Structure 1
Amino acid sequence: MLRIVLFVLTNLAVMALLTIVVKLTGLDVYAYRRGGLNLSGLLVMAAVMGMGGSFISLAMSKWMAKMSVGAQVITQPRNAEEQWLLAAVRAHADKAGIGMPEVAIYDGPEMNAFATGMSKNSSLVAVSTGLLRNMDRQQVDAVLGHEITHVANGDMVTMALLQGVLNTFVIFLARVIGTLVDRAISGNRDGGGGGLAYFAIVMVLQLVLGLLASLIVMAFSRWREFRADAGGARLAGRAAMISALERLDANHGESTLPKAIQAFGISGEGGIARLFMSHPPIAERVAALRAAA
């Protein structure tokens, strides 16, 4: 799958770091004490931090994915399986009109694959050893088509833009609410505020609002999975895409992918409730493909 939680952990970490930098440079205190709240200035600062944090996360996505799962990029095929894998990805990339992605294999018992990267022409497609062992080539080909469709649809950049906008409002609202709460606690004393209490309130609010914002990101993630399934069906055949999803459903278990990139995988349905799922239930995805036929 693609785009959403290379963000969640990475994006939250980057946002926390940027918040600390703003605190250390005194920008928060300056915004706090500028005669009431300088809302326009605060919004500009929030936009710079929010969009910046999101695109920093996007820029780190390939590196973080490789490090998280120990993915080994195929530079020189060592066997017939790796040769076939490179050829299949190249064929789908050519059909989709994108540059050849890096192709990697990572050690994992579950059947999974993911795609990520900064742009359509600088991406990574990785598959688990469990996927290669437990699916036939037609099914694996369909999974690769699904991942290539994520790249071709520009899901990575779209996710970064969506996350950036949400980050902006999270940062802005956290500081507005934090200012009001801190002033109420301090009794609106002149010269008060902007200290450690205000900083702590803002950090907590950013975390809570960020989790709420993730519901929107998850909803978008579920929607794009249907699009990627349709793209996989176009590239590899509808029957192969349905067969691959049914194979996943029959052997569905707990994903061993790190939480930071679970939403990028072909399988895995996210959290314990639908609102927190990064993927729709596989039965719904299969039904959508059959209905489209």
Structure 2
Amino acid sequence: MLRLALYLGANFAILAVLSVAFRLFGIDSLLQANGVDLNLTALLIFAGVLGFAGSLISLILSKSMAKAAMRVQVITTPRSAVERWLIETVHAQADRAGIGRPEVGIFDHPSPNAFATGWNSNDALIAVSTGLLHHMDRGEVEAVLAHEVSHAANGDMVTLALIQGVVNTFVIFLSRIAGLLFDRLILRIERGYGPGFWIVSLIMEMVLGVLAMAIVMWFSRWREYRADAGGAALAGRRNMIAALERLRQAQNAPPLPEEMRAFAISAGRVQALFASHPPLEKRIAALRQGV
């Protein structure tokens, strides 16, 4: 809850600073002089509400959505030695990381993979694929579990949702300003909203949305390095490197559904500016260098 309060507070502070800056630099007056009757404070609040609504709702529902999407079988009463070992390992790692014990589950998928999700560190879900259990030995699986526990301990699910909310806010804010300026200055529409407003706003949302996605994915890649380091601390650096090496060998395996890739330990072979994960080679190198 502290992380949530800090990020919401930071976003409101940014909105307040922008509002003051617009006044100090005379942007309010410039807009009014050109017939743009815009209440920037109200627009900032409107953009903030819209920008955060979707990401926070997704965060709150993330665990139930992941269970349904991946058909996760949550282990309540272990039915085998493997299931018992999974629960004991995750719970021991969570205790060492200082967070509440997550739910542990298994989902049927041929590729070796796992993910962590949940709206806060003390109410997480750690799920592993049947492919992971089939392709990796216990030391490697332990490292993957530690990586996911580190995601939960670092609050990465919350932080990613909040960063998404911040960038959504400014995409909506700036696109609306661009649309209104086009209406007033180009089309000379003095009141209300003409077609130019809606068209330009939509185009700017798409353009700025691409830039915003690049920012969000940069953070997603950065958090993978941090979770790798956390996994190495909990399960041993050698095990963590071995697990990533194993994932590198299985890069041609079918990836998880796109909506789950940002939360998985591996997102497959595709790596670019908009990739949620850095290349496995770079992650392995970072661990070997002790980064």
**TM-score range, shorter-chain basis?**
0.7 to 0.9
1:290 matched to 2:288: yes
Aligned to 1:169: 170
Give 1:243 shift.
0.5
- Distance change >3 Å, CA 44–CA 190, structure 1 → 2: same
**TM-score when scaled to structure 1?**
0.82
The 2-side partners of 1:194 and 1:86 are apart by 59
Report the equivalent of 1:207.
Answer: 206
Partner of 2:279: 281
1:263/1:279 contact within 8 Å kept: yes
Tell me the SS of whatever aligns to 1:253. Answer: coil
Supply the distance in 2 between the matched residues of 1:128 and 1:204 (Cα, whole angstroms).
40
Report SS of the residue matched to 1:276.
Answer: coil
Aligned residue pairs total 257
Indicate conservation of the 8 Å contact 2:262/2:276, yes or no. Answer: yes
Which consecutive residues of structure 2, in runs of 5 or more, have no partner in the other structure?
A: 1-34
Q: CA deviation at 1:107?
A: 0.8
Query: Relative contact order (alpha carbons < 8 A, sep ≥ 6): 1 or 2 greater?
Result: 1
Looking at structure 2, the residues matched to 254 and 210 of structure 1 have their Cα atoms a distance apart, in angstroms, of 30
The separation in 2 between residues aligned to 1:154 and 1:46, in whole angstroms, is 25
* Residue aligned with 1:103, SS: strand
Deviations 1:180-220 (A, max 9, x none): 234456x223334256x634543443233222201011111
Please show how residues 172-211 of structure 1 align to structure 2 within 5 Å.
Answer: 172-183=173-184, 187-193=187-193, 198-211=197-210
Structure 2 distance, partners of 1:228, 1:102, is 19
User: In structure 2, what is the equivalent of residue 238 of structure 1?
Assistant: 237
What amino acid is the match of 2:239? A
One-letter identity of the residue aligned with 2:284: V
Q: Provide the C-alpha distance between the structure 2 equivalents of 1:127 and 1:200, rounded to a whole number of angstroms.
A: 44
RMSD: 2.0
Q: Report the residue type matching 2:100 in the other structure.
A: G
Specify the alignment match of 2:63 in structure 1.
Answer: 62
| Counterpart in the other structure of 2:89 | 88
CA distance in 2, matches of 1:55, 1:83: 33
Q: Distance in 1 between matches of 2:43 and 2:258?
A: 32
Larger Rg: 2
Match of 1:233, as an amino acid? A
The 1-side partners of 2:61 and 2:199 are apart by 27
CA distance in 1, matches of 2:49, 2:250: 44
Q: Aligned with 1:264: secondary structure?
A: coil
Distance 1:89 1:172, change over 3 A: same
Residue 188 of structure 1 aligns to a residue whose secondary structure is: coil
Range 152-161 or range 251-260, more displaced: 251-260
Q: Structure 1 CA distance, aligned partners of 2:185 and 2:36?
A: 16
Contact 2:147 2:227 in 1 (8 A): yes
Where do 4+ consecutive residues of structure 1 move more than 3 Å? 182-185, 197-201, 269-272
SS of 2:89's equivalent in the other structure is helix
3-state SS of paired residue (1:118): coil
* Counterpart residue number, 1:247: 246
**Contact 2:75–2:83 at 8 Å: present in 1 too?**
yes
Deviation at 1:256, TM superposition (A): 3.0
Mapped to 2, the partners of 1:54 and 1:122 lie a distance apart of 18
- TM-score if structure 2 supplies the norm length? 0.83
Match of 1:216 in 2: 215
Partner amino acid, structure 1, of 2:219? F
* 2:125 alignment partner, SS class: strand
Q: What is the SS of the residue equivalent to 1:104?
A: strand
Unaligned runs of 5+ in 1: 1-33
Alpha-carbon distance between aligned partners in 2 of 1:60 and 1:129, rounded to the nearest angstrom: 24
Conserved? CA contact 1:111–1:134, under 8 Å: yes
- The amino acid across from 1:276 in the alignment is F
Matched residue type, 2:276: S
Q: Give 1:188's aligned amino acid.
A: R
2:36/2:180 contact within 8 Å kept: no
Question: CA, structure 1 residues 81+215, in 2 after alignment: closer, same or farther (shift >3 Å)?
Answer: same
CA distance in 2, matches of 1:177, 1:158: 29
Q: Secondary structure at the match of 1:76?
A: coil
- C-alpha distance in 2 between matches for 1:54 and 1:278: 17
Q: Percent identity?
A: 56
2-side partners of 1:254 and 1:228: how far apart? Answer: 22
